[in-house]
């Protein structure tokens, strides 16, 4: 958590193969104990039709190798960030 008690995001990893290093990125929010994932927004209707996606949600995609930045994967199941 940040010094003023607000949400503190921690960047866990950025895609080294992304053009200009702008996407995909994995963050951890130490207040909500959740991950935020930045990636390319999925816009393909055929793919989206296969999901049960509420109107208030969106789907992004990241390369499979980006899972290495999740502590549960990197540390063999431990989720300590």
Domain boundaries, the chain: 9-74
Question: How far is it, in rounded angstroms, from Cα 24 to Cα 14?
Answer: 6
Would you state the pLDDT for residue 80? 61
Higher pLDDT, 40 or 76: 40
Could you tell me which residue, 21 or 41, shows the higher pLDDT?
Answer: 41
Asked if the model's pLDDT at residue 71 lies above 90, the reply is: no
C-beta of residue 58 within 8 angstroms of C-beta of residue 44: no
Environment class of 69 (CB within 10 Å of its CB; exposed 0-12, middle 13-18, buried 19+): buried
Smallest CA-to-CA distance from 27 within 5, 9, 2 is with 9
How far apart are the C-alpha atoms of 44 and 65, rounded to whole Å? 22
């Amino acid at each position: 958590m940040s010094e003023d008690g607000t949400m503190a995001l921690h960047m866990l990893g950025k895609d080294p193969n992304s053009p200009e290093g702008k996407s995909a990125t994995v963050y951890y929010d130490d207040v909500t104990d959740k991950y935020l994932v930045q990636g390319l927004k999925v816009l393909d209707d055929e793919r989206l039709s296969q999901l049960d996606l509420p109107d208030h949600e969106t789907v992004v995609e990241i390369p499979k190798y980006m899972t290495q930045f999740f502590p549960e994967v990197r540390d063999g199941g431990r989720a300590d960030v």
